């Protein structure tokens, strides 16, 4: 597989001194920055109103809509970063997989990958040509974010997590089809990882060129693998993706769930920050990752459904585990849930800011 060289871009100086970007660089910040995975979503009435009668993909592919949804949580609360409204599955249709987001069910792919031939029929088109709306959305969002001092995060899914959807055809509990393919067709599996690496590196380069000031790579489901399988089947292509992304000149967060056992391997790929799910205490996580890496996390999103007493207690517990060291970005340990009361989210953002103000 040919790998076009990734352009080296000049770092964007805008909002360089924001708490979020300082922390991403491992520098001391005036307070602990806070943002939440899925901070734009169904828990917000503004989101539900805008989504009414419109499909997920329509919103993603219409820059004015994607920009508006991205800004909804920023307008409602003092978040320290915005994340572009998009989905990790957006590259699948442009590669030839028929994706639909089915309400109440989740993503569905009608022509999932079943054979090595199916891998070879996947296209790897240039992101700028087939997903131009993403760069447009980023440019629109930046116009609104820059005067507010809020930096923008771009993102992609990681090769394993995307392969799991491409092969299962939907979300999964045990990734049985994915593992069967990985073990049974190792050559085709590696070709699939390479194809994802190529399109994802290109897509992230497009996002950074358009104005994303940091990026997160979501490897949400990689925790289903043993250490051996991660190293053998996933680490090489993911490592190349992270290496190429780092050359873009913006800081990189690498996130997964149920990854306690994988943290030494995942962190060795050299992202600036490791996203930690709610299962691992942050002081333990810090011992498992590389020296100098930051951590992002890691409140159980269910705690935002209350009571405040327990939410406050566990927020204090997390901040105590961090114990004032630089390089902590406060976040949930997995995305916000649709049942989350907006008031609890706002109260939490304010509380972390107050407790960590220097």
User: Which residues are identified as catalytic?
Assistant: 38, 42, 51, 87, 165
Query: What torsion do the CA atoms of 42, 44, 45, 48 make, to the nearest 10 degrees?
Result: -30
203 near ligand CP3 (CB under 6 A): no
- H helix runs in the chain, sequence order: 19-24, 45-51, 56-61, 63-76, 91-95, 116-120, 127-130, 132-148, 159-168, 176-184, 186-210, 227-229, 235-246, 263-267, 282-288, 308-322, 342-356
Give the number of C-alpha atoms closer than 13 A to the C-alpha of residue 313, restricted to the C-beta side.
6
Q: Which is nearer to ligand CP3, 154 or 294 (CB)?
A: 154
Provide the β-strand partners of residue 109: 99
Q: 217 or 311: whose CB is closer to ligand CP3? A: 217
Total site size for ligand CP3, rule CB under 6 A: 22
The b-or-e profile of 70-97 (16+ CB within 10 A means b, else e) is: bbbbbebbebbbbbbbbbbbbbbbbbeb
> What whole-number distance in Å separates Cα of residue 128 and Cα of residue 119?
22
Per-residue three-class SS string for 121-185: CCCCCCHHHHCHHHHHHHHHHHHHHHHHCCCEEEEEECHHHHHHHHHHCECCCCCHHHHHHHHHC
Site for ligand CP3 contains 93 (CB under 6 A)? no
- 41 near ligand CP3, rule: CB under 6 A: yes
CB of 85 to ligand CP3, least distance (A): 5
Which of 33, 107, 211, 275: binder of ligand CP3 (CB under 6 A)?
107
Smallest distance from ligand CP3 to CB 257, Å? 7
CB nearer to ligand CP3: pick between 1 and 102 = 102
Nearest to 194 by CA among 241, 149, 260, 232: 241
Q: Does the annotation list 110 as a binding residue?
A: no
> HSE-up of 241 (CA within 13 Å, CB side)?
32
CA 85/CA 268 separation, integer angstroms: 29
Q: Is 184 annotated as a binding residue?
A: no
Can you tell me which of 25, 31, 38, 325 binds ligand CP3, judged by CB under 6 A? 38
Stretch that binds ligand CP3, among 26-34, 84-92, 194-202, 345-353 (CB under 6 A): 84-92
Cβ proximity to ligand CP3: between 89 and 319 the closer is 89
Q: Which two tokens stand for residue 119?
A: 């891998």
According to CB under 6 A, which one of 106, 264, 306, 341 is a site residue for ligand CP3?
106
Q: Is 38 flagged in the annotation as binding?
A: yes
Determine the residue with CB nearest ligand CP3.
Answer: 220
The contact mask relative to ligand CP3 for 284-303 (x = CB under 6 A, - = no) is: --------------------
Which residue among 134, 198, 213, 220 contacts ligand CP3 (CB under 6 A)?
220
Instruction: Determine if residue 100 is labeled as part of a ligand binding site.
Output: no
| Residue 39 engages ligand CP3 in binding (rule: CB under 6 A) | yes
Would you list which residues are annotated within the binding site? Answer: 38-42, 87, 165, 220, 334
Binding site for ligand CP3 (CB under 6 A): 37-42, 51, 56, 83, 85, 87-89, 101, 106-107, 155, 171, 218, 220, 334-335
Would you list which residues are annotated within the binding site for substrate? Answer: 38-42, 87, 165, 220, 334
């Amino acid at each position: 597989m040919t790998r076009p060289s990734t352009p080296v871009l000049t770092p964007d100086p805008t909002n360089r001194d924001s708490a979020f970007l300082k922390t991403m660089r491992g520098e001391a910040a005036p307070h602990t920055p806070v943002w939440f995975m899925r901070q734009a979503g169904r828990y917000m009435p503004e989101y539900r109103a805008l989504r009414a009668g419109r499909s997920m993909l329509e919103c993603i592919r219409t820059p004015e809509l994607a920009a508006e949804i991205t800004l909804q949580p920023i307008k409602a609360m003092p978040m320290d970063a915005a994340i572009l409204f998009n989905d990790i599955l957006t590259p699948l249709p442009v590669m030839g997989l028929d994706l639909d987001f089915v309400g109440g069910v989740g993503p569905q792919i009608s022509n999932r990958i079943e054979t090595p031939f199916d891998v070879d029929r996947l296209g790897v088109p240039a992101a700028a040509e087939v997903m131009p709306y993403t760069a447009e959305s980023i440019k629109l969002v930046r116009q609104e974010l820059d005067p507010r001092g809020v930096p923008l995060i771009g993102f992609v899914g990681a090769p394993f997590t995307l392969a799991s959807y491409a092969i299962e055809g939907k979300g999964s509990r045990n990734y049985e089809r994915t593992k069967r393919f990985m073990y049974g067709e190792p050559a085709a599996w590696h070709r699939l990882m390479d194809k994802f690496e190529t399109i994802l590196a290109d897509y992230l380069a497009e996002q950074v060129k358009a104005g994303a000031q940091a990026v997160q790579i979501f490897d949400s489901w990689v925790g289903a693998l043993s250490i051996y399988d991660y190293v053998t089947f996933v680490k090489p292509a993911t490592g190349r993706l992270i290496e190429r992304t780092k050359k873009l000149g913006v800081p990189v967060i690498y996130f997964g769930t149920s990854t306690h056992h994988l943290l030494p391997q995942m962190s060795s790929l050299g992202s600036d920050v490791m996203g930690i799910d709610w299962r691992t205490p942050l002081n333990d996580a810090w011992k498992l990752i590389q020296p100098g890496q930051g951590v992002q996390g890691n409140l159980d999103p269910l705690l935002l459904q209350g009571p405040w007493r327990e939410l406050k207690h566990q927020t204090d517990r997390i901040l105590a585990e961090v114990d004032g060291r630089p390089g902590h970005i406060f976040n949930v340990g997995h995305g916000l849930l649709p049942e989350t009361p907006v008031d609890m989210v706002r109260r939490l953002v304010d509380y972390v800011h107050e407790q960590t103000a220097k």
